[in-house]
Amino acid sequence: MMSEFEDQFSELQADMISICMEYVEDRTDKVYVYASQEEGVTSSNFFYLINDKYVEPHNLNEALENGEREYDVSADRNFAVLDILNENMKKVTSLCKTYDIDMPTELKLIYDAKSGKFQASYKYDLVYTHDDVKTADHIADEWFEEVKNNHL
């Protein structure tokens, strides 16, 4: 029973990475996914490492080098990815309830497209809903800055 949960949980995380890879047509060094679900709030964000530059989806073309084909960074495509990430996070919630397993409030996923290595970290405590100022977007932005500044 536990392996069924783990298989489905892994599949949802893989789907999150896959949709982000599709967004960049598999042209990235690393993809980073932030997803959270707490107190009824579902939120997601994603960004990339391309040509040694950390970029958010709407800024992908800033990372291009001479002659590289531009990315389609339209708002419609961006929102479509965020919708899928949020839907998968809701499926994680449902999956955890089905198997009576603690639901992570936060997932941070990193996929190294060059090596094929995948890393995931989870939090189970409230991250932002107990804060008077911070939102999930603040937390995602902080992670982007941390990764960018520390080259994670």
Euclidean distance between the first and the last CA atom of the chain, given in angstroms as a whole number: 34
Does residue 152 have a pLDDT over 80? no
pLDDT score of 45 more than 80: yes
Structure confidence at residue 19 as a pLDDT band (50, 70, 90): very high
Q: What is the pLDDT of residues 70-90, one digit of tens each?
A: 999 999 999 999 999 999 999
- Domain extent at residue 28: 2-150
Q: What CATH number corresponds to the domain at position 21?
A: 3.30.500.20
Q: Report the domain count for the chain.
A: 1
Instruction: With H, G, I as helix, E, B as strand and everything else as coil, classify residue 124.
Output: coil
Instruction: Please write the tens of the pLDDT for every residue from 110-150.
Output: 999 999 999 999 999 988 888 888 888 989 999 999 999 98
